[in-house]
Amino acid sequence: MATPLNNIPLGARPEGTDNCRMAEWPPLFPVSHSLYNNGMNLLAKELNSQLDGTVAFRLLSQTGRRFYLPRGIIAQSAEAKNLAHTANATIGMAFNQGKPFILPAVEECMPTLTTEQIVCYAPPAGLEEFRKMWQNLILQKNPSLKPEMISLPVVTTGLTGGLSALSELFIGEDSTIIISEPSWDSYSLIFETRQEGKIRGFSFLGDGPGLDMDAISRAVREEAAKGFVRILFNFPNNPAGYSPANAEAKALTELLLEAAESGADVLALCDDAYYGHSYEDDVFEESIFSPLANLHERILAVKIDGPIKEDYVWGFRVGCVTFGSRGLGPDHYNALTTKLTGAVRAAVSSSNTPGQYIVMKAMIDERTPKEKAAYKELLKKRYNDIKKFLSENPEHPHLKPLPFNSGYFMCFRCEGITAEALRKELLFNHGIGVVALGESCLRIAYSILEDEQIPMVYRAIYDCALKLGKL
Question: Is-contact 229 218, C-beta < 8 A?
Answer: no
Query: What is the mean pLDDT of the segment spanning 312-326?
Result: 96
Residues 286 and 214 in one domain: yes
Q: Which amino acid is at 375?
A: Y
Q: Which residues contact 432 (CB under 8 A, 6 or more apart)?
A: 426, 457, 460, 461
Q: What is the pLDDT of residue 72?
A: 73
User: At 230, which CATH number?
Assistant: 3.40.640.10
Q: Are residues 89 and 140 in the same domain?
A: no
Residues 22, 98: one domain?
A: yes
Count of domains forming the chain = 3
Do residue 71 and residue 124 come from a single domain? no
Residue that is last in its domain, among 307, 341, 364: 364
216-270 pLDDT tens trace: 999 999 999 999 999 999 999 999 999 999 999 999 999 999 999 999 999 999 9
Q: At what angle do helices 42-51 and 330-347 cross, to 10 degrees?
A: 140
Q: Which of 341, 364, 387 is where one domain is finished? A: 364
Q: Is residue 232 domain-shared with residue 379, that is, in the same domain? A: no
Question: Could you tell me which residues come within 8 angstroms of residue 428 by beta carbon, excluding any fewer than 6 positions away?
Answer: none
Residue 379, Cβ density class (10 Å: 0-12 exposed, 13-18 middle, ≥19 buried): middle
278 lies in the same domain as 394? no
Residue 16, pLDDT score: 36
The 10s digit of each residue's pLDDT in 159-200 is 999 999 999 999 999 999 999 998 999 999 999 999 999 999
Whether residues 360 and 372 fall in one domain: no
Clarify whether residues 313 and 437 are in a common domain.
no
Q: Same structural domain for residues 199 and 276? A: yes
Instruction: Please state the pTM of the whole predicted model.
Output: 0.89
Q: Are residues 177 and 269 in the same domain?
A: yes
- Respond yes or no on whether the N-terminal peptide bond of residue 9 is cis (omega within 30° of 0): no
Domain match, 71 and 139 both: no
Domain hosting 421: range is: 368-469
CATH of the domain at 442: 3.90.1150.10
Quote the CA–CA distance of 349 and 291 in Å, as a whole number. Answer: 33
- pLDDT band with cut points at 50, 70 and 90 for residue 101: confident
**Which SS3 state, helix, strand or coil, does residue 113 take?**
coil
- What digits encode the pLDDT tens for the residues 379-419? 999 999 999 999 999 899 999 999 999 999 999 999 999 99
| Boundary residue ending a domain (332, 364, 396) | 364
**163 plus 94 within the same structural domain:** no
- Overall average pLDDT of the 105-117 stretch: 90
